[in-house]
């Protein structure tokens, strides 16, 4: 059985750590943790420690660090996504897939057909989903989450960045198949990747043309239209393979 994982604001190689109030409540009231239980602590910056609980009260939990390591389990800032996130539970599912597949950053994308705009008032919700997913999957560095940007506001043309916009075949625009894109990605492994994933209604032709004019390449995922959660999963796996050179 996997050991319970708790997010703490800082970690060091030795000593005792006090769990934050919300995490302490989860440990003591929900999981009924007891002194002597072994847990995993992580700081969201890539560090992880196994620790033994020393004391438990209604509002505080103290744990003594036993082992300590830097183990982010991500792609070291190289795998990034800009996504027109869906609404409701599917928004949470999208974040979970990105976190589980090691994506380093998520920028919500504002497009003509976007249905959910993420601003300062609701970005915390996506951050909470990120923390929950990191706890579940064993990741120790949090995926960075920003507020909504438009295609024009993204820095697509920066050096060493390869950008792909996911879109079905478009007349007049070169669209790479998965086979062609894999050949390119494996032959010339990129230093950094950015995938642009549109809303359920897709990008408009003008948006695709804009992204391509800014340096993006168009990628079609095949004859079937994938939902956002599926599309981000497909692209994240492709990106992981290209970055690893596998």
Residue-wise pLDDT for 19-39, tens only, equals 999 999 999 999 999 999 999
Report the pLDDT averaged over residues 70-77.
Answer: 97
| Tens digit of each residue's pLDDT (9 = 90 or more) over 191-222 | 999 999 999 889 998 999 999 999 999 999 88
* % of the chain surpassing 90 pLDDT: 77
Residue 3 pLDDT exceeds 80: yes
Q: How confident is the model at residue 140 (pLDDT cuts 50, 70, 90)?
A: very high
User: What pLDDT is stored for residue 172 in this prediction?
Assistant: 62
Out of 2.40.240.20, 3.40.50.150, 3.30.1330.20, 2.60.40.10, select the CATH number for domain 5-70.
2.40.240.20
For the chain, domain boundaries: 5-70, 79-244
pLDDT in tens, 95-104: 999 999 999 9
**Which uninterrupted H or E stretch holds 35?**
none
Torsion over CA: 208, 209, 210, 214 (sign): positive
Strand order in the sheet with 175-176: 144-145, 105-108, 79-83, 192-197, 161-166, 217-219, 175-176
Residue 189 pLDDT more than 70?
yes
Name the average pLDDT for the chain.
93
Q: What is the pLDDT of residue 135?
A: 96
Q: Give the model's pLDDT for residue 169.
A: 67
Strands 5-7 and 16-18: unpaired
Q: What local confidence, expressed as pLDDT, does residue 188 receive? A: 84
CATH number 3.40.1280.10 given to 79-244? yes
Mean pLDDT computed over 148-169: 91
The confidence score (pLDDT) of residue 31 equals 92
d(CA 13, CA 122): 35
Element (H, E) at 239: helix 228-244
Residues in the chain: 246
Q: What is the pLDDT of residue 61?
A: 96
């Amino acid at each position: 059985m996997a050991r319970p994982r708790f997010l703490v604001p800082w970690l060091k190689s030795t000593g005792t750590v006090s769990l934050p109030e919300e995490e302490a409540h989860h440990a003591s009231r929900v999981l009924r943790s007891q002194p002597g239980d072994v847990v995993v602590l992580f700081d969201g910056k890539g560090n992880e420690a196994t620790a033994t609980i020393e004391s438990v009260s209604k509002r505080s939990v103290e744990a003594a660090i036993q082992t300590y390591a830097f183990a982010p389990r991500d792609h070291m800032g190289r795998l990034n996504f800009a996504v027109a996130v869906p609404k409701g539970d599917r928004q949470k599912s999208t974040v979970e897939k990105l976190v589980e597949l090691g994506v380093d950053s998520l920028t919500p994308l504002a497009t003509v057909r976007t249905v959910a705009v993420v601003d300062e008032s609701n970005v915390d919700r996506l951050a909470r989903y990120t923390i929950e997913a990191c706890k579940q999957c064993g990741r120790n560095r949090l995926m960075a989450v920003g507020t909504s940007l438009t295609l024009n506001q993204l820095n697509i043309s920066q050096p060493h960045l390869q950008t792909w916009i996911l879109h079905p075949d478009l007349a007049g625009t070169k669209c790479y198949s998965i086979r062609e894109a894999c050949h390119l990605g494996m032959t010339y492994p990129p230093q950094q990747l950015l995938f642009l994933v549109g809303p359920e209604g897709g990008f408009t032709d003008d948006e695709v043309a804009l992204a391509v004019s800014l340096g993006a390449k168009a990628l079609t995922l095949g004859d079937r239209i994938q939902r956002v959660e599926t599309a981000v999963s497909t692209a994240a796996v492709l990106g992981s393979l290209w970055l690893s050179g596998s």
